[in-house]
Chain A
Amino acid sequence: MPHTPAAIERHTIAVIVDNEPGVLARVIGLFSGRGYNIESLTVAETDAAKHQSRITVVTTGTPMVIEQIKAQLDRLVPVHRVSDLTQEGAHVARELALVKVISKGNERVEALRIADIFRAKAIDSTIGSFVFEITGSGEKIDAFVNLMVPLGLAEVSRTGIVAIARGETRM
């Protein structure tokens, strides 16, 4: 059987877990222990009554590794469901970032103008600074942040990707 190196793919995987102590450590430990990549990971409780959280993880690997990641996640005891949004069809993925820009004069005006184009909101401002809130795809945020570099970019805080399937499908 000739081994052709398989292409690396990026997948967004949603995982419903019991919101119990240590569950995030289990998921992260699985990725680090088995040498899988994490590009982004977000987690928060999504069903308070059932004590369930939703983890969204963006990962890369060959198709065989992606299958392994899903099977390994699925066999963790507190994991209820694993859904590969990338494989299962169309989905929307968004990230939120807070971007602090410190500048004066023209640079400040230009930062505000670009923020407007990107539909970023200034949620805090002083004479010398803005904090912009921007949501969108990871690429859009990357683009915005890059444009802010020459305009006084000081600090960035990003949430990581959250994602959900389009249409009527539920997880």
Chain B
Amino acid sequence: MSTAPDAKLAQDTAPLSGAEIVLKALAEQGVDVIFGYPGGAVLPIYDALFQQNSVRHILVRAEAGAVHAAEGYARSTGKVGVVLVTSGPGATNAVTGLVDALMDSIPLVCLTGQVPTHLIGNDAFQEADTTGITRPATKHNYLVKDVKNLSKTIHEAFHVARSGRPGPVVIDLPKDVLMAKTEYAPAPAKAHPTYAPRTEPDQKAIAQAVDLMLGAKRPILYTGGGIINSGPDASAALIELAHLTGFPTTSTLMGLGAMPASDPLFLGMLGMHGTYEANLTMHGCDVMVNLGARFDDRVTGRLNAFSPNSKKIHADIDPSSINKNVRVDVPVVGDAGKIVRAMIAEWKRRVAAGAKPDKKALADWWTQIEQWRKRDCLAYMRSTDIVKPQYALERLQALTAHRDDVFISTEVGQHQMWAAQFMKFQKPNRWMTSGGLGTMGYGLPAAMGVQIAHPDALCIDVAGEASILMNIQELSTIVQYRLPVKTFILNNQYMGMVRQWQELLHGSRYSESYMDALPDFVKLAEAFGCVGLRATKVSEVDDVIKEMIAVKRPVVVDMCVDQKENCFPMIPSGAAHNEMILGPSDKQPGTGGGNGGKGPISEEGMVLV
């Protein structure tokens, strides 16, 4: 019988419309869910969506929400997140999320509708120069002008989004291309003729790095988002390397979870709001091993005072990350997981061959670090009545610690930093936060994207009352898809982070940082169809958290916290790691954290953000 395969062949090569090709290519790329919002230019895709069931569409309430949801989905699964928006305002609404993903190395493919090719450039209805606008907002973008190039372009876009330093890719799709027909082309074996970032490290560089590490007296592992990007095995390898060497380990905001917070070798986050011990260990180390972090200014503080006496090793998949801000001694280009595995192998080989790490020096180093740890830098003034934001998070941590399926996202501000300090991440991909761009409004849609990927998990957005209003509309999406997302608002009635800077830098003139007419978040939650809960005193905190977790529905918690609390430790902009402000008493000019009695913030520091 030869008719059956032929019939199948005929079916496979029958011409498809551009819109059908889009969905077929998505399915071939393993996409099971996309986040989107319709409009005239993408109606052909919505029509094709209606007639298939391999790709699920989540209808958001604003395009910004679609992009952050796709980011949350991507960060929590390691897969590429996919967004579908219409032309003009649909595309421009997506731009913030694209830049957010670009800064934080999140792989996304964003499909944008476009006016038909013959109208491009005519100021047609809902036309925007999407490829022009998104060129600096994406890792790469495409305008598909001929349906014959469509399948190839989509496959290439996924390859670009996920390889090297991951990032967002836009594919702009004119409506006539979506309606024209051609044959589908499956993903080629080689997705792009030339774009193939190096992942295998150079063995010579590994040997040099391990040389330095073996000779170290005061080492530190400084790990970042690159470990998360590399995948769970990189985290496993990192833990192995840390224990093999006994090196103290710190992480950036983006790398939290790669090393379990409970590991005795872990010093907590470093940087502007990092721990005392992490920052002083960075400052005083003699060998720094940067694994997938990018020497961001929130981390380095004043560059010419950053870890002044160390030899620096930098492992990164993107050669442009190396020597960008900080000159390093040993660059290692490649995938973080592969690099760490190679370091482990080399270390073992060298030790077997007789190399002797300086155990005595390392023990002394740890003695010093334990002294710094005793400072207990995250301690805060306890209260028996008013809820301190740190207390609320400590309780949230304690009441969720027994679970293995907790995912935390955040908005941007003090609450974000407190979440980084007080939530104890034990695994990678459990922490979604907007680090590089610092986008208020990120956390709620991100939590929604995480919940879509992990329907039974406990997904909590730790929010501020100002940030949450930036994408509050997504509560409606959350209700529509019955996602039990928890929105945990630390409501201090201030743009707390702004207020804190104004207190420190601008003579406590709280210009426009007070939210004068906030909604009643409990009623707001109810209006959307969520459960609304409120706590205003310490005695109510545990009950509210327990109820939030117990209710199998979306919940909004209005946790009314101390309005004046500040986030410490803090390295003011332009200061060095050893010029940290540890608490309220430190901030008076003259007593400020070691800046020679000049007060904590220099004039150069004032101009920095």
Number of interface residues, chain B, beta carbon within 8 A:
25
A77 adjacent to B308 (CB under 8 Å): no
Q: B141 — which chain A residues lie within 8 A by C-beta?
A: 22
Asked if B194 and A80 sit within 8 Å, CB to CB, the answer is yes
From B143, B164, B304, B327, give the contact of A75 (CB < 8 A). B164
Binary B-proximity of A7-28 (CB < 8 A = 1, otherwise 0)? 0000000000000011001100
Q: Which of A83-135 contact B (CB under 8 A)?
A: none
With beta carbons under 8 angstroms apart, the residue of B143, B318, B323, B324 that contacts A21 is B143
Q: Given that A3-B304, A64-B323, A64-B327 are contacting pairs, would A75 and B318 also be in contact in the complex, using a CB cutoff of 8 Å?
A: yes
The one of B131, B136, B143, B320 in contact with A68, judged by C-beta atoms closer than 8 angstroms, is B320
Choose one: A1, A33, A77, A80; the contact of B136 (CB below 8 Å): A33
Once the chains are docked, how many angstroms separate the CA of A60 from the CA of B219? 37
Q: Which residues of B contact A26 (CB under 8 A)?
A: 135
Contacts of B197 in A (CB 8 A): 75
With A3-B304, A21-B143, A68-B324 in contact, do A75 and B319 touch (Cβ < 8 Å)?
Answer: yes
A75 lies within 8 A of B323 (CB): no
Does B132 have its Cβ within 8 Å of any Cβ on chain A? yes
> Which A residue sits closest to B305, measured CB to CB?
A1
A146 contacts the other chain (Cβ, under 8 Å)? no
In the complex, which residues 131-179 of chain B have their Cβ closer than 8 Å to any Cβ of chain A? 131-132, 135-136, 139-141, 143, 160, 164-165
Question: Given A22-B131, A26-B135, A64-B323, is A77 in contact with B318 using a C-beta cutoff of 8 Å?
Answer: no
Is A29 part of the binding interface, using a Cβ–Cβ cutoff of 8 Å? yes
- Per the bound structure, the CA–CA distance linking A71 and B195 in Å amounts to 14
A67 nearest in chain B by CB position: B323
B135 pairs with A25, CB closer than 8 A: yes
Chain A 61-72 near chain B by CB (<8 Å), digits 1 or 0: 000100110011
Contacts of B140 in A (CB 8 A): 76-77
* Interface residue A74 (Cβ < 8 Å from any Cβ of B): yes
- CB contacts under 8 Å to A, within B186-234, are 192, 194-195, 197
- CB <8 Å contact, B320 and A71: yes
Most buried by B among A22, A25, A29: A22
Q: How far is the CB of A61 from chain B (nearest CB, A)?
A: 13
Q: How far is the CA of A72 from the CA of B324 in the complex (A)?
A: 10
Minimum CB–CB distance for B170 against chain A, Å: 12
B196–chain A nearest beta-carbon distance, Å: 11
Beta-carbon contact of A77 and B195 below 8 Å: yes
B343 on the A face (CB < 8 A): no
B165 — nearest CB in chain A belongs to which residue? A75
Determine how close the nearest CB of chain B comes to the CB of A141; give it in whole angstroms: 33
Min Cβ gap A26→B in Å is 6
How distant is the Cα of A21 from the Cα of B153 in the complex, in angstroms?
14
Q: B388-430: contact bitstring with A at CB < 8 Å (1 yes, 0 no)? A: 0000000000000000000000000000000000000000000
26 contacts between A and B (CB under 8 A): A1-B304, A2-B304, A21-B143, A22-B135, A22-B143, A25-B132, A25-B135, A26-B135, A29-B136, A33-B136, A64-B323, A64-B327, A67-B323, A68-B323, A71-B318, A71-B319, A71-B320, A72-B320, A74-B319, A75-B165, A75-B197, A75-B318, A75-B319, A77-B140, A77-B160, A80-B194
A1 and B308 in contact (CB under 8 A), knowing A68-B320, A72-B320? yes
Interface residues of A in 23-40 (CB under 8 A from B): 25-26, 29, 33
